[in-house]
Each structure stands twice: as structure tokens, then as C-alpha cells.
Amino acid sequence: MSKEKEVVVLDEVTVRFAGDSGDGMQLTGSQFTDTTAAVGNDLSTLPDFPAEIRAPAGSLSGVSGFQLHFSSSDIQTPGDSPDVLVAMNPAALKVNLKDMKSNGTILVNSSAFDTKNLKLAKYDSNPLEDGSLQGYQLISVPITQLTMGALEGLDISLKEKERCKNFFALGLMYWLYNRPIEGSSKWIETKFAKKPLIVEANKKALKAGYYYGEHTELFTTRYDVHKAKLPKGHYRNVSGNEAVALGFVSASLRSGLPLFLGSYPITPASEILQELSKYKNFGVKTFQAEDEIAGICSAIGASFAGNLAITTTSGPGLSLKTEAMGLAVITELPLVIVNVQRGGPSTGLPTKTEQSDLLMALYGRHGEAPLPVLAASSPADCFWMSLEAARIAIKYMTPVILLTNGYIALGSEPLRIPSIDDLPEIPVNFRKDPEGFQPYMRDENLARPWAIPGTPGLEHRIGGLEKKHIYGNISYEPENHALMTKIRDEKIKNVQKDIPLLEVEGEKTGDLLVLSWGSTYGPVKEAMRRLKKKGYKLSLAHLKYLNPFPANTADVLKSFKRILVPELNLGQLARVIRSEFLIDVIQYNKVQGQPIKTSEVEGKILELLGGENGK
């Protein structure tokens, strides 16, 4: 009979599941995440997987990982370094060991450390035996062997039995961190409902892993992370892409407009198309186009017909959409273009993250074609910024670019489900009265009327050729083109009156301001929190509106002696700040396909402040 294990309460834990692409690490991480969210912890995740559909089994290039940071308090990032690494094979260990915390726990599937897999991972000797893992808490568990034993007698193939090993690992981690297994059991029943033997096998493996933790002498301790003290409300764990989809469905409901998505699948944006296709009962129409150009052009047509129209893509697709974006600018139709940024250029790093499309979003169109550019800061914020992008597009009759990136699109965190009263109003004023109508007349915001084709007396033409001011006839007059260009530019500048002022967290004036945008907010926020506990007086401003900037941006920037701008590019926002405000900034740039770590931001701030003694 096993001894009762000691339970240690922790404030936070960072776990990374890693294995071959075929080992189901994304599924394992997602299940652990969903269960952790149901328990009530705050959390943030970082999936990390190769771009190849199936990299060579056991190879270093084929390693897939999923990192989860969960806590009993509010957190902003998926964690810098894992406290626990679950490595399903030698390649997973080798790729991820460099990120581990000293004295961290490494749980390995020792069944996979055979001669073949060690050679594929380029190990000269077995790291489980040669002492190279001293300094870590190594726990060797023959996961594959134990899984096969638990499934002995089941009438499924050896390959199918072996594929259940990820659920054994999941069950063991559920036991170690005092998580219930019932949620994953129900998920297995639903997922494999048409394959009862697979249901039985995966559930057996899950339970075997859980009870192995209970009865083995390898573990003397298990851990608990209490429920987080978050604001009251109902929460749902969402990825950034799921939040974008929910945001646009909500915008459709608040505006009363049917939602249309015209899109071409591209990593890491494809899940938005997949997610929105589930909402047909809300009147959502999704069109999987044959290419990126067809995707945006179909959305422009849907907007002309009176829909809330969106198109989604990543960097290479945004390049292809640029001419049609100019068409949306000159026709002055509401449209939202969601760009989930990834590593570039060209095909670049399809499954890795970057912030290197900012300059393209701001300037990447021929002619004078200004449009608003917004950026979401976290997976949950994708919900709110999708709503905001739709509101601005409709109010100002303009295309809007919403920037996210691979990190926040595929990562997840809890979203507090708002009540209907928490959602912004999105009024729509279709022109219906033919009296005095002209297609390019203007309201107080310089927006032209939205007249739906087929409305009696409102026949008009739009298109890519320049239009006569007010009347909409094709015009090549020099003075008219200059006037229309200036009006379209002024209309976008007017958006500045309709967005919040830039807020400063911390000291309102001082020596150093950290200026973040997009997904850099999380690690910057965490770094500021750590340094504040050490007695530093610091300031943070975060930009969600990148064109136009908030009206007080210049005043905020001029209130500080130095400005640090961390970015996942070579300094694109820094360049814009210098150009727009004639203010120099200090750059901190990272282009490795990975998000900025809290420790990296903290280190740079300390360097600028003179180290630990520079308070």
C-alpha cells in the first residue's frame, strides 16, 4: 500500500509538454489547459509546433511543444521558463532543455530513449544515465511501456495503443497537480464517439496515468494551485483566434448586420474561418475562397450588399490583398482585415510569431490609401478589439486592419464573458431616403452614406476609378482628385476623436517610459510588476491604436526623458515614433519567432536604470 503523498501549495507553475509531432502534445496541452481553466486558475498558453505537416519522427525538427502558465493570481504571459518539462522522447528533451529553470522537474518517457531515438536526437550517450541532467529533478517513467500494459487485451492495433501514451502522460500530470480527470474523460467520449474501442483505450490510459502517480514511489509530493481571485463573472478559456470569431459574432449582433467572412486558409489565421463556420445559427456566412484576392474581394462585395464583412489572413496573404484594400479605401466601404502576423519574409516561419507587418499595415498600399490600424494585446483582448474594429469600420465607412500575431492567436487565456450591456453599441444608418441623395455626400465624420443596392431611388456606382466629389461620377480632374485624397485622409484622422486617450500605468512623468504595442504588453506588464516589488518607480504606456495614434500620444512621450520600445521586429514602431513625433526612442528588438520574455524586458530596464542599485 502506497504512502499518502504530501501536498504542497504553489502560487504558480509553468509546464511544458513536448514530444514528436505525432505524440499529440497540442491535444495534451489543450486538455490540461481546459481542465485548469475549469478549476478556476488564471492561465496563459504558448503552443509551439513545426511548420511541416509531418517532420521526420524522432527528429529535432519534428518536436512539438505546448507551454502553460497557471496561477492563483492574475498573470499576463505563458511564463519564461518551464518549472516542469514533460519530454516524450530524446529530441523533445534536447530541444527544450536550454529553456528549463535550474532544479526544474524533467519527467521523461524513458521507453523512448532507445538507440534509434538517441541517434535521431544526436545524443552520443543516454542523458538519463550519463549524469548530464544533474541540477534537475529527473523522473524517468516508462510511459509507452506502461500504456501498452494498461491496454493489454484490447482489440486494437499496437500502433493505436501506442498513440494513447499522451493520455497516460496527461493523467499523470492531472494527479501531480491535483486536477480532475472527468472533463478529459467526457471529451474523449465525445471526440471518439464513433470508435468505442478508442474511447475505452484512451480513458484507460488516462486513468492508468493518474493512478500510477498515486501508487508509484517515484513521487513523494503532489502540488496544488488554488483558484485565482479574478473579478466575479463567468469565464471561458479562449484562444486569440476564437476570441476574434466571438468578437465579430458579437459585433454582428450589436449592429444587426449579417456577418460575412471571405477568407483563404493560412497559418496561423485559419482557425478564425473554422470557428466562424460554427455560427450559422447566428446568420454567419463563411466563404473559403480559392485565393487571398478572392477572399477580400468577396468581402468587399458583401459589404456593398450591406453585410458586416471581414477577411482574415497572415503576412503573405496581406501582401496579396493590398490592391483590393486600396479598392475598399476608394469605394469607402466598411471592411475589417484581420492580419495574424507570423515570421517572414515570404513563407518565412509559418508557425512562429512576429510583429513585422506594422509598416505594411500602415503604408503598404499604392497611392494615398490611409486606413485605421488597431492591434490586440492578448488572446482575450482579441474579442474587444474585433468589436472595436467593426465599430470604427461602420461608423467611418472605411476598411480597418486589426493586427494580432501567432503568439496571441494560438495562445489562450480566460475571457470574462460580458453582459450585453458591456458591449459597445454599433449603430448602422443605411441610407433609405432618395431625397437629396448623392453617393459621396458626407456626414460630420466625413463618412459617405451606406446605400444598399436595390434600394429604390438610390442607384449609384462605385469602383476603383476616382469619383467626383459628392456626385460619384468618374472624374480625372486634378483638383477633384486632390480634394478626394485629402477628404479620405482627413476622415481617418477624425477617428482620433473617437478613441481613448493613451493611459500611463505608474508614474505620469519621469526618467523612463516603456512603450508597448500588441503582444508585448504581457511581458512588459509582468516585468513592471516584478520591478515595482523591488522598489523601482516605472511607467508603462500601451498602444492599441496605431493609426491614428491617440490624441495625447505626443504629450505622453514628451513627459519622459527616455522611451524604451520592445518589439518583435527590427524597430518598426520605433521608426514610426521617430517620424511622427521627432522623438528618439531606445529599441529592444527580438526576431526569433518567439515572444519576448518577461526576464528579457526586466533585464533591459535594469540595464537602462543602472542595475539593481539604480533605484
Is-cis flag, bond preceding 56, omega within 30?
A: no
Cell of 340: 495574424
What is the pLDDT confidence band of residue 574, given thresholds at 50, 70 and 90?
A: very high
- Across the range 293-315, mean pLDDT stands at 98
Helix axes 521-533, 598-609, angle to 10 degrees: 50
474-484: pLDDT as tens digits = 999 999 999 99
Q: Which set of grid coordinates corresponds to residue 197?
A: 474501442
Cα 275 from Cα 265, distance rounded (Å): 12
pLDDT of residue 426 exceeding 70, the answer is yes
Query: Does 6-225 match 504-614 in CATH topology?
Result: no
DSSP letter, residue 347: T
Whole-number mean pLDDT of the chain?
Answer: 96
d(CA 482, CA 476): 10
**Residue 21 confidence (pLDDT):** 87
Do the Cβ atoms of 361 and 325 come closer than 8 Å? no
Pairing of β 373-375 and β 545-547: antiparallel
Instruction: Write the single-letter amino acid at 399.
Output: P
Domain extents in the chain: 6-225, 231-498, 504-614
CATH of domain 231-498: 3.40.50.970
Over residues 506-526, mean pLDDT: 97
- C-alpha grid cell, residue 519: 503582444
Q: What is the pLDDT of residue 3?
A: 65
Distance from C-alpha of 180 to C-alpha of 171, rounded to nearest angstrom: 9
- Which CATH fold topology does 504-614 show? Rossmann fold (3.40.50)
Q: Is 533 exposed, middle or buried (0-12, 13-18, 19+ CB in 10 A)?
A: exposed
Give the pLDDT band (50/70/90) at residue 389.
very high
> Is the distance from CB of 453 to CB of 421 less than 8 angstroms?
no
- pLDDT of 291 > 80? The answer is yes
pLDDT in tens, 162-219: 999 999 999 999 999 999 999 999 999 999 999 999 999 999 999 999 999 999 988 9
Quote the percentage of the chain above a pLDDT of 70. Answer: 99
- Mean local confidence (pLDDT), 44-59: 87
Beta-bridge mates of residue 399: 335
Contact 311, 390 (CB under 8 A): no
Q: Answer yes or no: is pLDDT of 471 > 70.
A: yes
Confidence of residue 2 (pLDDT cuts 50, 70, 90): low
- Cα 525 to Cα 462, 522, 615: the distances in Å are 46, 5, 18
C-alpha cell at position 232: 466575479
CATH placement of domain 6-225: 3.40.920.10
Q: What is the pLDDT of residue 230?
A: 86
